[in-house]
Structure 1
Amino acid sequence: MKYLIVGLGNPGAKYEETRHNIGFKVLDHFLKDIEDPWAVDKQGMIAKIKFKGRTLVMLKPSTFMNLSGKAVNYWMVKEKIPIENILVITDDIALPFGKLRMKGKGSDGGHNGLKDIIATLNSANFARLRFGVGNEFSKGRQVDYVLGEWSDEERKTIEERMDICGEFIKGFATIGLQQTMNNWNNK
């Protein structure tokens, strides 16, 4: 069984520590004990690992956030991974900072990366792990907020939240979406 685990973000050092790049950060954290796991490939950075008999194809798209669907579709087809085995990790301003929520399908919620994936795949029926980044911004400042860096207070707890994201990823690939949601949503 193969799974495509996609962390959304923007390429380049300029965006590394921004809230919008939490998907990249989660995948890097998940693979932190593997020496040099990433390889540059078509449409993104790829890492392939085995976990309990499953192959996890980890993807950090090299497209910018608004064109993420192209990379997701390319790797889904190339690796012959069905849509039900795709998990997209993304930031979410509708959730308080650090709140984690997995869903099996849904709307884009105003997130341009999800919007492009849904449009490209012509389906919203893929799992997503939403990482709450909060909404501490004034009217019209949403872009500045998500492209802004983490506050000192947020940095204190982000690693622990990313550890839990790892449990979501492992659960999705082994015990399935529903049981993973039951076990880890609202933790």
Structure 2
Amino acid sequence: MLSFLQFARKASSLTRIAAPNDKPVLILVVSIGNPEAQYHGTRHSVGHLILKNLCESQGFSQIKQINGFKFRCNTDKPDVLLYQTPGFMNLSGKNLAKPWKALMAQPQWNPVLVVLHDELDLDLGKVRVRKQNSSARGHNGLKSIQQHIGKGYNAIQIGIGRDSNREKDPDAVSRYVLSKFSAQEAEQLHQQVVPQVAAIIEEMRQHKHIFETL
């Protein structure tokens, strides 16, 4: 059984704010969303869609196992791992905590967490980076991550557009984010968003964004 001090140290190691040190950086890019079998192609799971496209277009075709968890990797970019969280959006933090802990336990790396997620207040095709310590702004997936891991992560927000009815109908947001992208919208994501996210990850490999905080 953990003592209170051991528990506090364990919790603080998971919730720490990323900062530069003498170790090489390892960037874990994770997508959050809902189970693929039922929610594939929906707006709320756009992070999963972009992650899949990154795997295909950026050569993340191999699997790296760490403490039983499988991460996608590219031998030409050993400082980046990709991971799709399982389960439902509102349990993102719980489902991410163990694989994140597995990376945090690697003594040779300085792990940095980057979360891909949907953003209602960005137009489709737009992308924005948010700093560590940012607010979840009502996003259930981010709220879950902050509950289990804290605010020590960057986020890459992926615009999914707005629903013009959401101010009139309180259920409109739920219906909208769980609706599927049209073929034209999916192509727009592939053509516009994937290159932007890939470019941001390359910037992060040069230590841009990743250590910034609010």
Common fold, TM-score beyond 0.5?
yes
Matches within 5 A, 1:1-187: 1-33=25-57, 34=59, 37=62, 46-54=71-79, 56-80=80-104, 85-105=112-132, 106-121=134-149, 123-138=150-165, 139-140=169-170, 141-160=172-191, 161-172=193-204, 174-178=205-209
- Which residues of structure 1 form unaligned runs of 5+? 182-187
Structure 1 residue 44: Cα displacement: 7.5
Structure 1 residue 74: Cα displacement: 1.0
3-state DSSP class of the match of 1:90? Answer: strand
- Whether the 8 Å contact between 1:27 and 1:58 is mirrored in structure 2 is yes
| Equivalent residue letter for 2:125 | G
Find the counterpart in structure 2 of residue 184 from structure 1: none
TM-score by length of 1: 0.81
- Whether the 8 Å contact between 1:47 and 1:59 is mirrored in structure 2 is yes
Partners of 1:104 and 1:35 lie apart in 2 by 25
Partners of 2:111 and 2:102 lie apart in 1 by 16
Question: Computing the radius of gyration over CA atoms, which structure comes out larger, 1 or 2?
Answer: 2
Partners of 2:194 and 2:81 lie apart in 1 by 18
Partners of 1:84 and 1:134 lie apart in 2 by 32
3-state DSSP class of the match of 1:169? Answer: helix
| Equivalent residue letter for 1:117 | I
| Equivalent residue letter for 1:23 | G
- Whether the 8 Å contact between 2:64 and 2:73 is mirrored in structure 1 is no
Q: How many pairs were matched up?
A: 177
- Whether the 8 Å contact between 1:83 and 1:126 is mirrored in structure 2 is no
Structure 1 residue 125: Cα displacement: 3.0
- Which residues of structure 2 form unaligned runs of 5+? 1-24
Partners of 2:61 and 2:76 lie apart in 1 by 17
| Equivalent residue letter for 2:126 | K
Q: Which runs of 4+ in 1 moved over 4 A?
A: 33-45, 81-84
- Whether the 8 Å contact between 2:30 and 2:83 is mirrored in structure 1 is yes
Calculate the aligned-residue CA RMSD, in Å: 2.9
Partners of 1:126 and 1:83 lie apart in 2 by 13
Tell which deviates more after alignment, 152-161 or 142-151.
152-161
Report the CA distance shift for 1:15/1:170 in structure 2 as closer, same or farther (over 3 A): same
Q: Percent identity?
A: 24
| Equivalent residue letter for 1:16 | H
| Equivalent residue letter for 1:118 | Q
